[in-house]
Structure 1
Amino acid sequence: MYGDLAGFRAYASARGNEAPSDATDALATAALVRGSDHVRLRYVANLLPAYGVDFTPAGHDLPLAEEAAYIAAALELATPGFFAKTFTASEQKVLTGVDSIKWTVVGDASSTYAAMPVSTSIAALFEPYVVDRDADDFMLMSVGRSSCL
């Protein structure tokens, strides 16, 4: 788990959200564990090699993972299971016609995290520090006995 219950409550209170302080210790802790799980699986797992789980960018008061866990925990406290949704590609659509019932695909269902709920705040927090799993890859190779330097 990233952070702790006191830190979660203080972070939320500083932003006008008293729900973590009003919740029982058990409910608030469970939300923090679920929020931490999401951050670990989606963002920490994709950190660029130069950054560790305790990385704190200049100008930030908390490590990225801890701050993100507090944001995710607040969402989890308000809606338990928010980040644990299960989707199929066929569910990523919107109704766009009624006459002969037409559906339109929303977004790019082929991207790695297309079906995962997103907090724009957490995504923005990690954006400069994570690998884009859907970016084009390239590789340099040399022909011959010596390696490229």
Structure 2
Amino acid sequence: MYGSLAGFRAYALARGDSAPTDATNEAATAALVRGSDMIRLRYVPNFLPGYGIDFVPPGSDMPLVEEAAYIAASIELKTPGFFSKTYTAAEQKVLTEVKGIKWTVVGESSGVYASMPVSTLIDALFWPYVSDPDAAGFMFRSVGPRSCDVA
């Protein structure tokens, strides 16, 4: 778990959210654990080299993962299980025609995290410090025997 129950409550109160303070210790802790799980599974593995769970961004007074876990925990406290939804490709659609009953896929459904619920605030926090697993990359290859030998 990232952060602490006291830190979660103080962070939320400073932003006018008394829900973590009003919740029981068990409910608030469970939300913080679920929020931390989401950060650990979604963002931490994608840190760019040189950044880690102890990284404190310039202008911040707490580690990035801790602040993100508090944001995720607030969402989880209001909607338990928000970040652990299960989707099928068929659910990522919108009704676009009634007479012929036509559905259209919405958003990008082929990305690594395309079916995962997202907090735009958490995405904004991590954006400068994580790699995009769906970004185009490059690599060098050689074909044939000894094609990589250096003379």
CA RMSD of superposed structures (Å): 1.4
Partner of residue 61, structure 1? 61
Hey, what's the Cα distance between the residues in 2 that align with 1:144 and 1:32? 50
Partner of residue 76, structure 2? 76
Partner of residue 145, structure 1? 149
Partner of residue 124, structure 2? 124
How many pairs align?
147
Hey, what's the Cα distance between the residues in 2 that align with 1:60 and 1:91? 38
Hey, what's the Cα distance between the residues in 2 that align with 1:144 and 1:30? 53
Hey, what's the Cα distance between the residues in 2 that align with 1:122 and 1:31? 16
> How far off its partner does 1:102 sit?
1.0
The equivalences for 1:80-119 within 5 A come to 80-119=80-119
Partner of residue 18, structure 1? 18
1:100-124: CA deviations, max 9, x gaps?
2111100111011000000000000
Q: Secondary structure at the match of 1:29?
A: helix
Find runs of 4+ consecutive structure 1 residues off by over 4 angstroms.
141-144
> How far off its partner does 1:61 sit?
1.2
Report the identity percentage. 68
> How far off its partner does 1:89 sit?
1.2
Hey, what's the Cα distance between the residues in 2 that align with 1:23 and 1:100? 48
Partner of residue 27, structure 1? 27
Q: Which runs of 5+ in 1 are unaligned?
A: none
TM-score normalised over the length of structure 2: 0.93
Identify which range, 21-30 or 86-95, moves more after superposition. Answer: 86-95
Question: Which is greater in Rg?
Answer: 2
Corresponding letter in the other structure for 1:145: D
